[in-house]
Amino acid sequence: MSEPNSTAPVSATPRGVKIALALSVALNLGVAGLAVGAWLGDGPHRGMPRDMSFGPFSEALDDDDRKAIRKALLSRLGEFREQRDAARAEFEALLVALRADPFDAGALKTALAALEARNAERLELGRSLIETRLIEMTPEERAAFADRLEKGLKHRNKG
Distance CA 137, CA 50 (A): 24
In this predicted model, what pLDDT tens digit does every residue of 55-76 receive, in sequence order?
A: 787 788 888 888 888 888 888 7
Q: Are 87 and 39 in contact (CB under 8 A)?
A: yes
The confidence score (pLDDT) of residue 44 equals 38
Distance CA 127, CA 86 (A): 21
pTM above 0.95, yes or no: no
The confidence score (pLDDT) of residue 146 equals 92
In this predicted model, what pLDDT tens digit does every residue of 94-144 receive, in sequence order?
A: 999 999 999 999 999 999 999 888 888 877 887 888 899 999 999 999 999
Domain boundaries, the chain: 15-40+51-158
The confidence score (pLDDT) of residue 158 equals 72
Q: Are 136 and 68 in contact (CB under 8 A)?
A: yes
Using DSSP's 3-state secondary structure scheme, residue 32 falls into helix
Q: Are 134 and 145 in contact (CB under 8 A)?
A: yes
In this predicted model, what pLDDT tens digit does every residue of 9-54 receive, in sequence order?
A: 455 556 655 565 555 555 555 555 555 454 444 443 344 344 445 6
Instruction: Please give the C-alpha separations between residue 47 and each of 72, 76, 91, 130, in angstroms, as whole numbers.
Output: 15, 11, 18, 20
The 10 Å Cβ neighbour count of residue 72 is 15
The confidence score (pLDDT) of residue 135 equals 94
- 27, HSE (Cβ side, Cα atoms, 13 Å): 18
Which architecture characterizes domain 15-40+51-158 according to CATH? Up-down Bundle (1.20)
Nearest alpha-carbon partner for 145 in 35, 23, 38, 17: 23
Sign of CA dihedral 67, 69, 75, 80: negative
